[in-house]
Amino acid sequence: MNLRKIYHFSWRGHTLELGRQTCVMGVVNVTPDSFSDGGRFYDHNAAVSQGEKLAAEGAAVIDIGGESTRPFSEPITVEEEIRRVVPVIEQLAQRIPVPISIDTTKAEVARRALEAGASIINDVSALRVDPGIAMLAAESGTPLILMHMLGDPKSMQVLPRYENLLEEILTFLEDAVEKAENQGVSRAKIIVDPGIGFGKTISHNLLLIKHLQTFTRLDLPILIGTSRKAFIRKILKDPHAQDIRPDLPIVENGTQATVAAAILNGAHIVRVHDVSNTIATVKILDALMNVKDSEGIGN
């Protein structure tokens, strides 16, 4: 039985129904140092082609990011981030029908991205880096994704600790949502993300997926991004190996296992690099969750 509440989003010529079917968000990193692809889509033409490919494979949203948020990464300037993402968004907006999300913590980058054709803001800092993002989302009427992160990318994986993992992240997200609403963002346009891999150990990440239903207390759509992340690679690698490449087939298998678990536990949106494999996983899991016992078991 599908326990996910259904949410309807309608804005700027786009509509999304979240809950009846799982929404797949495809990732395009326009960076030279992405953990997931090593900079394969840093070239603008390569990034546009990848965005088109992911949309054709069934992604309901394409998420464009120009600044790496991998552990220990260095921040870049507003100007450099704009230089990376705006040309890609301008071209993609003319070529694909699905909404484009801008993955940024900076209001000026988000503003330029919206002008170029993006229509969702994905803020992994949950307004802590630049509170102006909330005002921009309110003025533009765009959906806003707020994610939990412990610290910042440079420090988040240095011995992350919690007294109560679920309650602390839940409180963090409640506070972020309240800040957004106080700036005029409609609650009906907010999505929350518990931030898998952002200041969490392997156990933290597994517990978040296992107890994802905890976040239904927020009464907001839940996004989960596990794709190719270090906790998957650490679980799967040979005990004597330092790490394994994120693009290996075994890592994709592990990603799909976490996607399936997240959907079963209430995720409305899954953010992934491999859309084709994820669409297959989503179709099976959605069919399983939506089938009625009365159709075969009887009373």
- What is residue 48's predicted lDDT score, i.e. its pLDDT? 95
> Is 13 within the bounds of a domain?
no
> Is 296 within the bounds of a domain?
no
> Is 299 within the bounds of a domain?
no
Residue 209 dihedral angles phi and psi, to the nearest 5°: -65, -45
Q: Looking at residue 120, which CATH number applies to its domain?
A: 3.20.20.20
> Is 178 within the bounds of a domain?
yes
> Is 12 within the bounds of a domain?
no
- Residues with a catalytic annotation lie at 229, 271
> Is 241 within the bounds of a domain?
yes
Per-residue pLDDT tens listing for the chain (299 residues):
677 999 999 998 999 999 999 999 999 999 876 555 556 777 889 999 999 999 999 999 999 999 977 666 678 899 999 999 999 999 999 999 999 999 999 999 999 999 999 999 999 999 999 999 999 999 999 999 999 999 766 665 667 889 999 999 999 999 999 999 999 999 999 999 999 999 999 999 999 999 999 999 999 999 999 999 999 999 999 888 788 989 999 999 999 999 999 999 999 999 999 999 999 999 999 999 999 876 666 55
Which string of DSSP letters, residue by residue, matches 209-255?
Answer: HHTGGGGGGG-S-BEE--TT-HHHHHHHS-TT-S---TTSHHHHHHH
CB 103 within 8 A of CB 122: yes
Q: Say whether 116 sits in a helix, a strand or coil.
A: helix
Residue 29 dihedral angles phi and psi, to the nearest 5°: -100, 110
List the alpha helices (DSSP H) in the chain: 44-57, 78-95, 107-116, 132-140, 165-182, 202-210, 230-236, 249-264, 275-290
- What is residue 294's predicted lDDT score, i.e. its pLDDT? 67
> Is 8 within the bounds of a domain?
no
Using CA atoms, how far apart are residues 76 and 68, in angstroms rounded to an integer?
9
pTM assigned to the model:
0.93
Using CA atoms, how far apart are residues 4 and 135, in angstroms rounded to an integer?
29
Using CA atoms, how far apart are residues 32 and 9, in angstroms rounded to an integer?
33
Instruction: Give residue 57's domain range.
Output: 19-288
> Is 263 within the bounds of a domain?
yes
**H-run or E-run covering 101:** strand 100-103
Number of domains in the chain: 1
Using CA atoms, how far apart are residues 114 and 292, in angstroms rounded to an integer?
41
Residue position matching structure tokens 């991004």: 225
Beta-carbon contacts of 35 under 8 Å, excluding residues fewer than 6 positions away, are 68, 70, 228, 230, 246
To 10 degrees, the CA torsion angle through 281, 286, 292, 295? -50
- What is residue 73's predicted lDDT score, i.e. its pLDDT? 62
